[in-house]
Amino acid sequence: MTLSTPVLVLVVLLCLAAGAALGAGGHALITGRRESERAQGTHERATTDAAELGAARARADELAAQVADLRERASADADVLQALAPLRSGLADVGHQVQRLERERAARAAALDEQLAAARRADAELVAATGELGRALRAGGSRGQWGEVTLRRVVEASGMLAHVDFDTQRTAGTISGSRSGARPDLVVHLPGGRTLAVDAKVPMDAYLEASAIDTGARGADAERRERLLAAHAKALRGHVDALASRGYHAELPGSPELVVLFLPSEPLLGAALEADPGLLEHALARGVAPTSPSSLLALLRAVAAVWSGEKAADEAGELLELGRTLADRLATVATHLGRVGSSLRSAVGHYNSAVGSIEGRLLVTARSLESLGARDLELRPLDADDAQVRAFTAPELAEADAEPAQVRPEREERAG
């Protein structure tokens, strides 16, 4: 159905009026509700504010307590820091000391590294030198020279003089006068015109090979080492037999039936005797004495001591002979002085006799001539003190002075 325009306008107006009424009621309702909610919110906010204010006051009290506590702690910390101030200074000094020690440690480490490098170089040089020495010792000529040089040094260390107490590389025939070609390395002169031959030997081949094997080796290495040491002992036994066959004692004057076999190293003799315990007995039975530097030095020191005793005995004999000669010559001088004393006493007696003769006889005749104007004759006799001759009082000299005249020339002749 179609409405007319006035009706439509009226309906619109009614709707607008109803809407306005509803709007006013709703606005009022909303306003009331808002006021109610506002009042309720204000109350709640006041309650909340009061709670927050209480919490804030409680927090403020708590913070005040914490601040007081912090102040107390700060004061205590200040006291602690003040008390720890010397410790801080000490720690600073310790730090400086640690830094200095660290610098020194670094310097020492650098020096140690340098020393280790030098030691490594020295080890390398030592290994090279040891290799050269090993090669030299395997050469027979070098070994012989080493033995002779070591022998000479040992003899000189004992205090003996070359060409006085010993001779080196001297043919035995030049000493004994024979034409033998035997030539020991050393001939030691003993007291009483005796001599002792010393010969240096250096068996090294088997010993060097055995020394290259560790002593703690087992199995095949241990057996090989034992075989090499046995070969070394056998080589030394061969040198013993060779020296025994040369017969140095027969060519040297006053030499005992003994020749000294010198080994320039202690282990050479020790290893041989360990491998062959009967070697020393065999050598001594053949008239050969194996010696090392220490034992030879002891032997030569003993010889030097014998020489010293011999020299002291000779000097004591010379002193005794000089004492006897001095005593005889003192007796001769005492005899001569006794004769002078006797001559003086005889001269005094003759003088006194002459004075008595002059006074008793000649002067009497002279006085009878006074009438002739002769001068007075006056003789002064010797005073008894002036005429006294002192005699010897010592028993030895008095005995010589009291000897008869016919005995004195015989004693003078004996004294020379």
Residues 128 and 149 in one domain: no
For 32-45, how does the pLDDT look when each residue is reduced to its tens digit (9 = 90+)? 667 766 767 677 77
- Other CB atoms within a 10 A radius of the CB of residue 150 amount to 18
Average pLDDT value over all residues in the chain = 75
Pairing of strands 288-291, 259-262: parallel
Whether residue 282 is found in the same domain as residue 157: yes
pLDDT given for residue 2 in this prediction: 47
Please indicate, yes or no, if residue 144 is contained in any of the structural domains: yes
In a shared domain, residues 156 and 279: yes
Task: Decide if 193 is inside a domain.
Answer: yes
Domain boundary among 75, 104, 137: 137
Mark whether 128 and 189 lie in a shared domain: no
Is 100 contained in some domain?
yes
Residue 345 CB-density burial (10 A; 0-12 exposed, 13-18 middle, 19+ buried)? middle
Count of beta carbons in the 10 Å neighbourhood of residue 411:
15
Specify whether 130 is located in the same domain as 118. yes
pLDDT at 211: 79
CA distances in angstroms from 346 to 21, 332, 358, 360, 381, listed in the order given: 207, 21, 18, 21, 16
Whether residues 269 and 396 share a domain: the answer is no
Residues 84-118: b if buried by 16+ CB within 10 A, e if exposed: eeeeeeeeeeeeeeeeeeeeeeeeeeeeeeeeeee
Report which listed range, 122-131, 202-211, 235-244, is most confident: 235-244
Report which of residues 229 and 204 the model is more confident about: 229
Residues 276 and 150 in one domain: yes
Task: Say yes or no: 240 and 338 in one domain.
Answer: no
How many separate domains does the chain show?
Answer: 3
- Say if 37 falls within a structural domain: no
d(CA 8, CA 367): 240
Q: Quick: pLDDT tens for 220-244.
A: 888 888 888 899 889 889 989 988 8
Q: Are residues 155 and 225 in the same domain?
A: yes
Cα distance between residue 310 and residue 303, in whole Å = 10
pTM exceeds 0.85, yes or no:
no
Instruction: Decide which of 376 and 75 is more confident.
Output: 75
Least confident of 25-34, 168-177, 240-249, 253-262: 168-177
User: 344 in a domain, yes or no?
Assistant: yes
Find, among 158, 193, 162, the residue nearest to 175 by Cα: 193
Q: Are residues 218 and 287 part of one domain? A: yes
Q: What distance in Å separates the CA atoms of residue 205 and residue 142, rounded to the nearest whole number?
A: 13
Supply the CATH number for residue 246's domain.
Answer: 3.40.1350
Instruction: Tell which of 137, 162, 189 closes a domain.
Output: 137
266 touches 294 (CB < 8 A): yes
Tell whether 318 is covered by a domain: yes
- Considering the domain architecture, whether residues 365 and 348 belong to the same structural domain is answered as yes
Same domain, 203 and 115: no
Asked, for residue 80, whether it belongs to a domain, the answer is no
In order of 335, 340, 412, the CA distances from 416 in angstroms are 13, 19, 6
Structure tokens at 59: 């927090």
Domain termination residue (choose one: 103, 137, 171): 137
Residues spanned by the domain of 152:
140-291
Domain assignment present for 16: no
Backbone torsion region of residue 21, taken as left when φ is above 0, otherwise alpha when ψ lies between -120 and 50, otherwise beta:
alpha
Which residue, among 236, 250, 244, 239, has the nearest Cα to 286 in the 3D structure?
244
Q: Mean pLDDT lowest for which of 17-31, 148-162, 313-327?
A: 17-31
